[in-house]
C-alpha cells in the first residue's frame, strides 16, 4: 500500500488541495515535503481555486469572526437549515494562543489585528501563517481612541503596496494621522485637518484597496456622510452622500458586497424599522446608490434595536436576507452571542454562537477572501 507521504508530487498536491484552510497548519507540520509543497505557488493556485469552486457550488460565504478576543473562520450558507447555516471551520491560530485580539480588519486576504490592550499591531496572512508585528509610537495615552485601516496602492496588475492608516482625532490637542508603508517598514505623518469627524467607535470597511467610514460634521450633530481614505494618494477624498440620514441614536453599519460594492444598514431608534441599501458604483470620490432599497423590515414587533456601535452584518443578494451579528436581545447586557437572519418578508431566525467571558465584547464579522 502506498503511503500518503510517498505519493508523487502532482498527486499529493491534488489530494492536499482538498483540505480546509484551517487544516493547512497541520498539513505543514506533518512532514518537510508537505510543508514545502503547501507553500508553493502551484499548490496555492490549486487549493484556492478548489475552495472557490466549492464555495460557489454550495453558495457559501467565507467570513472571519472575532469573538471573545479570538479569531475564527466560518462558512455561512443561508440556503441551509437554520441549524447548519453557520459552520465553524476552526480558530485561526497562527498568531499564537497568547495573543488576544480586540479589533480585526480585512483587505485582500490580509488581516490587520489590534491586541486586546490596544498597544500592539500585527499584520497577518492566515493562509501562509505569516505575521509581521508593527512597531508604533504612541504620542497620546488614549490607546482605545485610535482608528486603524488597511489598504494598498496598486502599482501594476499584479503588484500591490500595502499600507496601514492609524489616527486619533479626539480634540485639537489630541490629533494625529500617520501611515505605515509595509515595503519600507516606516511611518510617515500626514498633514490632515478635516472639517468632519470620524468617531473612534466607527469601523471602516476596506474595498478595492481603499477604506470608507461614516463621518459627521465636526461641530454639533449635523449631516452624516461617507469619507474615503485613498491609499494610492495617501489622503482623504471628498464627502460621499448616504441614501438616508440617520439620527444620533440610530444603528448604522457598513459592509462589503462581493468585494465590489458597499452595503449600509440603518435601523431607526424610534420606529425600529431596518433598511439595507447597496451601492451600484463606489469609488474614492464618487458613489451611486441603488434607487430601490435592498431590504426594509419593520422590527417593531420584535421590540429590539441592534447595537448602535457594535453590530456587523453581511447580505446574501440571491436569498435577499441580511445576517446581523450581535448579542442576545432578551436582556439589557447578555454574554450570549447571536447571529440574526432577517428576510425581505420580515421573517427572522437566530443562530446561537456561544457565550463570551465579557458581556460587553460583541461578535464582529467581516468578509474573508484568502490570498
Q: Is 353 exposed, middle or buried (0-12, 13-18, 19+ CB in 10 A)?
A: buried
CA dist 308 → 111, 190, 203, 313, 362 (Å): 24, 30, 12, 13, 12
CA 249 to chain centre: 23
Which of the 8 DSSP states describes residue 12?
A: H
Burial class (CB in 10 A: 0-12, 13-18, 19+), 184: exposed
Least-confidence region, from 39-43, 115-119, 133-137: 39-43
pLDDT score of 94: 64
Number of alpha carbons in the 13 Å side-chain half-sphere of residue 100: 11
Q: What is the pTM of this model?
A: 0.89
What DSSP element (H or E) covers 34? helix 32-38
- Say what the pLDDT of residue 148 is: 94
Q: What is the pLDDT of residue 188?
A: 94
Task: Estimate the crossing angle of helix 41-58 against helix 9-16, to 10 degrees.
Answer: 30
Beta bridge partners of 351: 339
Mean pLDDT of the chain: 86
Question: What would the mean pLDDT of 205-221 be, rounded to a whole number?
Answer: 91
Say how far apart CA 125 and CA 36 lie, in whole Å: 17
HSE toward the beta carbon, residue 209, CA cutoff 13 A: 15
What are the pLDDT digits (tens) for 160-202? Answer: 899 999 998 887 778 899 999 999 999 999 999 899 999 888 9
Which tens digit of pLDDT belongs to each residue from 291-312? 999 999 998 877 889 988 778 9
Q: Which of 15-29, 253-267, 320-334 has the highest mean pLDDT?
A: 253-267
pLDDT value at residue 1: 45
What is the torsional sign of CA 197, 186, 72, 43?
A: positive
Give the pLDDT confidence score for residue 214 in this predicted structure: 96
User: Whose CA is closest to 72, among 29, 33, 118, 111?
Assistant: 111
CA pair distance 294, 317, nearest whole angstrom: 8
pLDDT surpassing 80 at residue 8: no
Confidence of residue 269 (pLDDT cuts 50, 70, 90): very high
- Tens of pLDDT, residue by residue over 341-368, are 999 988 889 999 988 888 888 899 988 8
- Residue 3 clears pLDDT 70, i.e. is over it: no
Question: What tens digit of pLDDT does each residue of 46-66 get?
Answer: 777 777 777 777 778 888 999
pLDDT at 25: 72
Amino acid at each position: 500500500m502506498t503511503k500518503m507521504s510517498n505519493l508523487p508530487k502532482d498527486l499529493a498536491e491534488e489530494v492536499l488541495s482538498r483540505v480546509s484552510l484551517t487544516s493547512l497548519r497541520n498539513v505543514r507540520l506533518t512532514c518537510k515535503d508537505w510543508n514545502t509543497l503547501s507553500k508553493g505557488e502551484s499548490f496555492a493556485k490549486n487549493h484556492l481555486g478548489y475552495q472557490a469552486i466549492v464555495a460557489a457550488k454550495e453558495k457559501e460565504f467565507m467570513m472571519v469572526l472575532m469573538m471573545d478576543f479570538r479569531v475564527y473562520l466560518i462558512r455561512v450558507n443561508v440556503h441551509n437549515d437554520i441549524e447548519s447555516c453557520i459552520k465553524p471551520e476552526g480558530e485561526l491560530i497562527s498568531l499564537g494562543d497568547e495573543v488576544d485580539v480586540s479589533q480585526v480588519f480585512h483587505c485582500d486576504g490580509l488581516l490587520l489585528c489590534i491586541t486586546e490592550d490596544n498597544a500592539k499591531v500585527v499584520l497577518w496572512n492566515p493562509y501562509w501563517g505569516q505575521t509581521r508585528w508593527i512597531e508604533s509610537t504612541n504620542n497620546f495615552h488614549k490607546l482605545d481612541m485610535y482608528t486603524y485601516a488597511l489598504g494598498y496602492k496598486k502599482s501594476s496588475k499584479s503588484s500591490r503596496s500595502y499600507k496601514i492608516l492609524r489616527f486619533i482625532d479626539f480634540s485639537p490637542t489630541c490629533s494625529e494621522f500617520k501611515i505605515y508603508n509595509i515595503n519600507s517598514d516606516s511611518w510617515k505623518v500626514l498633514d490632515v485637518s478635516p472639517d468632519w469627524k470620524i468617531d473612534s467607535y466607527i469601523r471602516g470597511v476596506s474595498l478595492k484597496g481603499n477604506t470608507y467610514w461614516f463621518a459627521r460634521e465636526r461641530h454639533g450633530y449635523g449631516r452624516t456622510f461617507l469619507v474615503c481614505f485613498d491609499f494610492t494618494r495617501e489622503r482623504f477624498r471628498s464627502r460621499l452622500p448616504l441614501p438616508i440620514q440617520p439620527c444620533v441614536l440610530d444603528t448604522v453599519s457598513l459592509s462589503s458586497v462581493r468585494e465590489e460594492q458597499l452595503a449600509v444598514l440603518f435601523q431607526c431608534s424610534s420606529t425600529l424599522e431596518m433598511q439595507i441599501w447597496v451601492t451600484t458604483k463606489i469609488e474614492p470620490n464618487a458613489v451611486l446608490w441603488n434607487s430601490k432599497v435592498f431590504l426594509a423590515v419593520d422590527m417593531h414587533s420584535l421590540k429590539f434595536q441592534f447595537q448602535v456601535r457594535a453590530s456587523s452584518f453581511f447580505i446574501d443578494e440571491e436569498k435577499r436576507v441580511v445576517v446581523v451579528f450581535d448579542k442576545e436581545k432578551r436582556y439589557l447586557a447578555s454574554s450570549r452571542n447571536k447571529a440574526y437572519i432577517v428576510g425581505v418578508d420580515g421573517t427572522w431566525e437566530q443562530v446561537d454562537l456561544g457565550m463570551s467571558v465579557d458581556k460587553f465584547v460583541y461578535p464582529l464579522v467581516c468578509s474573508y477572501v484568502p490570498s
